[in-house]
A = this chain, B = another copy of it.
Amino acid sequence: MNPQEIAADFTALCKQGQFEEAGRRYWSDDAVSCEPMGGDMSEAKGRKAVEAKGEWWYANHEIHSVKVEGPYVHGQQFVVRFTMEVTPKGGERLAMDEVGVYTLDATGKITEERFFYGS
């Protein structure tokens, strides 16, 4: 599969809500997931840490709706937009609008997921 095909498959799985399956297929063992804010959760290094971050997120957010747009492709990178309505545990319902920039290695695995937040 070329980057366009990988990006399309990854994004299609996200559109179906199959985020874990998308990760299982495409995370590299060396994957890094980066959030813009500082602090402990800003960088998850390695597949296990990335998966644990995902599990933490799902356990701590009630998801009301997710809209996934993309992918947008350039070479070994692609962009996906996520528009969500969620309620963090013990918090108030909020709208999130963010994009993820994904970088593939030569074998077609995702080595970096970098989130950008809309304001």
Question: Which A residues are closer than 8 A to B by beta carbons?
Answer: 4, 8, 34, 36, 69-75, 77-79, 81, 97-99, 101, 114-119
Contacts and interface: CB of A to CB of B under 8 A. Distances in A.
Copies in the complex: 2
Contacts of A74: 34, 36, 101, 114-117
A83 B108 CA distance: 28
Contact of A73 (B4, B36, B73, B77): B36
Contacts of A34: 74
A73 B8 contact: no
A38 B7 CA distance: 19
Given A72-B97, A74-B116, 15 more contacts: A34-B74, A36-B74, A36-B75, A71-B118, A72-B99, A72-B118, A73-B116, A73-B119, A74-B101, A74-B114, A74-B117, A77-B114, A77-B116, A79-B101, A99-B99
